[in-house]
Amino acid sequence: MPFGSLRLKLLIWYAAALLAVTAAFGSLLYLDFRRSLYDEVDGRLSRQATALAGSIQPESERSFYVELAAEQVAYFDQDGESAPYYAIWDRAGQLVDQSHPALAIPVPAAPGAWQRGDGREHALQGPAGSLVLVGQGTHEESRRLARLLAIILVVGSAVLVLTLAAGWFLTGRALAPIKRISEAAATVSASNLAARIDVAEMETELGELATTINSTFDRLQGAFDQQTQFTADASHELRTPLSIVLAQADLTLKRVRSVPEYRDALETIRRSARRMKSVVEGLLVLARADTGALALVKEEMDLAPAVDDACRLLTPLAAERGVQLEMRLEPFSAWVDRERFAELVANLVGNAIRYNREGGRVEVRLRRQNGEALLEVADTGIGIPEDELPHIFERFYRVDKARSRALGGSGLGLAITKWVVEAHGGKITVASKVGAGTTFVVVLPRG
Amino acid sequence: MKILLVEDEEDLLQVIGTALRESGFSVDLAADGETGLAKGESEDYDAIVLDIMLPRLDGWAVLSELRKTKTTPVLLLTARDAVTDRVEGLNRGADDYLTKPFDLDELIARLRALIRRSVGSPSPIVTLGTVEIDTAARTVTKDGQPVELSAKEYALLELLALHRGRLVTRTMIYEHIYGEEDDTLSNVVDVYVSNLRRKLGGELIETRRGQGYIIR
């Protein structure tokens, strides 16, 4: 479970930091307390040692005797585990006096203060080469220190455990929305794209994440719906001509027909077959374009003759429909795919002729604008209603269904045209007025 | 039997129209939803074949609108086989559906079945005494012997037989056995009736003077 491990990782880092802080704090507290305790003991010992040194009466340079005051005698007369004691040596290191003869005190090498066993000792140089040592057990201090250590350990572990528990709970709470996001994301599948993450009660940061994921799902659903719609449309576009072929063949084969009847039947079948062919070809182009398998073969060429050629091929169609085809072409050199560019022009001009009125006009203009090629195809045709304009580049979208089919349109022409323009890094726009005509504007960059 | 065919694909409209005519139906054609609805509302067809994807007014709208006034059996033609489409069609009052592409024979068989059900006789065999009509095969026998009838004679006999026990007026006859393309000016119903009487026996069809005909 990836979230468990994240939670655990967070907790381990948290615990390590907390442990370090607690340990540092505890050690500092302990060490400081110990130092202050021992300083106190050492101060007392130092005072006693100085007083003892003052009680040494030198006899000569090398000899002396000790004469303790009454309170000193009483002070060192205590018994017990922490009772104070003293020892005095002469210059030769010979023990001269000792408060507790039972104690075996090693001769110190030099004056100073130190720990020996469970006690502190302080030694200083007395008069006449004497060495004075005063010591005291520190059992009481050790007990206080032990108690302090116990308190630090108990409180420290309690704090550690409590804060870790709180941390575990809090990270769990913080990570719970991620789990919800994950669960919601898991329920979204191809068959159920409608599921969304509930962002209502999420913290800002995770809410943003969830919103981002949701909008991704929205786009995914949009793309999927589009694909479903496209498949349904493609199926419809093929089913209809297929029905005609099948029904016509069924009908004609029912009995023996006359030659004109056979000819009519075959013509109907050919019409439908051609329609299916154009749909299938269009679908193939778009499918290859979608998967990126359709690469452009660009070459540098003058667009004007290319437009002219494409239009010339449509002159018979224009004549048949009584549409006047006018061209105003300025030379413009650009890198384009010759075949696709010709297709683009033929598509736009072909539409302009087909959806024109009898005796109408089609104007094809090519000129330079801001260093780019501007190709305009304007007709005086039936026009496109404003609410349909945004859809005309969609696959299988038809403004006038019956008319478009009757003219043998596959419903894919403009979708392919748009793809060609965009694959060249260009832009296609359309403006139209019902009853007045439609103008397509293609902008193609030089490169 | 008279059928209204609503289909926007000109080629399909003509092919199905011809096939239905050759199968003995009278056929009216409509190439868009509005025309289809106007015809469907103004006349009593025996059945309507309705495409869903239609210009101006789609099949759903035609169906919903038509159901406000008519109970004419409707067979939907759809180019989508999505279950929701079929369910919606049936829920909106369609009686049957076919998915394109379809078999012509299946379309015709389904239409006949629809019409039989709508007049309350699900069996394709109608027996009138010694005369037996097979409405599926469109054949007639008398005493077990096949009887040759012209298309219009058969259509008239079928109409009367399916409305057995009920008066069939001359207007109904004109409406049900003549399509838009037939010339209905000639007063030939009497000729068909006398031909039927000659071939099947005089007592089969009764004349209600000034009203019409009836088979008991």
Nearest chain B Cα distance for residue A250, angstroms: 7
Average pLDDT score, chain B: 87
Q: How, if at all, do strands B26-30 and B2-6 pair?
A: parallel
Residue A42 at interface with chain B, using a CB cutoff of 8 Å: no
pLDDT in tens, B129-187: 888 898 888 889 998 899 898 888 898 898 888 888 888 888 888 888 877 766 655 56
pLDDT at A438 (0 to 100): 92
Mean pLDDT of the region A151-174: 90
Cα separation, A411 vs A392, whole angstroms: 9
Band of residue B29 on the pLDDT scale cut at 50, 70, 90: very high
Q: Which pLDDT score, from 0 to 100, does residue A408 have? A: 60
Q: Which of A235, A251, A405 minimises the CB distance to B9?
A: A405
User: What's residue A243's pLDDT?
Assistant: 92
Average pLDDT of the segment spanning A65-91: 86
* pLDDT score, position A291: 78
Q: Look at A401 and B12 and tell me if their CB atoms are within 8 Å.
A: no
Distance from C-alpha of B199 to C-alpha of A340, rounded to nearest angstrom: 71
Give pTM, 2 decimals: 0.61
CB contact at 8 A, B15 and A266 = no
Q: What is the mean pLDDT of chain A?
A: 87
Tally A–B CB contacts below 8 A: 68
Q: Confirm or reject contact between A270 and chain B (CB < 8 A).
A: no
Which residues of chain B make contact with A254, given a CB cutoff of 8 A?
19, 22
pLDDT of residue A190 exceeding 70, the answer is: no
| Pick from A232, A242, A406: CB nearest B10 | A406
B8 touches A: beta carbon within 8 Å: yes
> Is the pLDDT assigned to residue A149 strictly greater than 90?
yes
A289 vs B184 pLDDT, higher one: A289
Q: What pLDDT, on a 0 to 100 scale, did the predictor assign at position A1?
A: 47
Residue among A376, A334, A336, A380 at smallest CA distance from A358: A380
Q: At residue A214, does pLDDT exceed 90?
A: no
Between positions 30 and 59 of B, the ones with CB within 8 A of A are 31-32, 53, 55
In chain B, % of residues over pLDDT 90: 30
* The pLDDT of residue A98: 87
Q: In terms of pLDDT, which residue wins out, A346 or B80? A: A346
Yes or no, beta carbons of A243 and B104 under 8 Å apart: no
**Is the per-residue pLDDT at B14 higher than 60?**
yes
The answer to whether B22 contacts A251, with C-beta atoms less than 8 Å apart, is yes
Quickly state the pLDDT bin for A179 (edges 50, 70, 90): confident
pLDDT of residue A211 exceeding 50: yes
> What value does the mean pLDDT take over residues A126-145?
89
CA B54/CA B35 separation, integer angstroms: 11
**Chosen from B10, B11, B51, B105 to mutate, greatest number of chain A CBs within 10 A:** B11
The predicted structure's pLDDT at residue A400: 67
Is residue A105 scored above 90 in pLDDT?
no
Q: Quick one: average pLDDT of A26-44?
A: 92
Write the ipTM: 0.77
Residue A244 and residue B79: Cβ atoms within 8 Å? no
Chain A: residue whose CA lies nearest to B78: A236
Interval B34-61 mean pLDDT: 90
Q: Which of B18, B55, B101 sits opposite A242 (nearest CB)?
A: B101
Q: Which chain B residues are within 8 Å of A388, Cβ to Cβ?
A: none
* Residue A244 contacts B, CB cutoff 8 Å: yes
Q: What percent of chain A has pLDDT over 70?
A: 96
Identity of the highest mean pLDDT range in A21-35, A285-299, A386-400: A21-35
Chain A residues near residue B5 by CB distance under 8 angstroms: none
pLDDT category, A46, cuts 50, 70, 90? very high
B60 or A447: which leads in pLDDT: B60
How close is the nearest chain A Cα to the Cα of B133, in Å?
Answer: 22
pLDDT tops 50 at residue A74: yes
Q: Which two tokens stand for residue A105?
A: 């005190």
For residue B174, report the phi and psi dihedrals to the nearest 5 degrees: -60, -40
Assess B9–A contact: CB distance below 8 Å, yes or no: yes
Interface contact B53-A236, CB threshold 8 A: yes
A118 pLDDT band, cuts 50/70/90, is confident
Q: Do B100 and A245 count as a contact with CB atoms less than 8 A apart?
A: no
Per residue in A325-378, pLDDT (tens digit) is 999 999 999 999 998 999 899 999 998 998 888 889 999 999 999 989 999 999
* Bigger pLDDT: A134 vs B56: A134
Strand intervals (E) in A192-332: 298-302, 324-329
Q: What is the pLDDT of residue A29?
A: 93
- Binned at pLDDT 50, 70 and 90, residue B81 comes out as low
Given a cut of 90, is residue A63 above it in pLDDT?
Answer: no
Q: Does A247 touch chain B (CB under 8 A)?
A: yes
Chain A nearest-CA distance from B149, in A, is 19
**B101/A271 Cβ within 8 A:** no
Interface of B with A in 92-111 (CB under 8 A): 99-105
**Is B15 within 8 Å of A400 when comparing Cβ atoms?**
no
Integer Cα distance of A410 and A237 in angstroms: 8
Tell me: the pLDDT tens digits for A219-251? Answer: 888 888 878 878 877 887 888 889 999 999 999
Closest residue in chain B to residue A229, using alpha carbons only: B80
Nearest chain B Cα to A247, which residue?
B104
Chain A partners within 8 Å of B105 (Cβ):
250
List pLDDT tens digits, range B84-143: 777 888 888 899 989 888 999 999 999 999 988 888 777 888 888 888 898 888 889 998
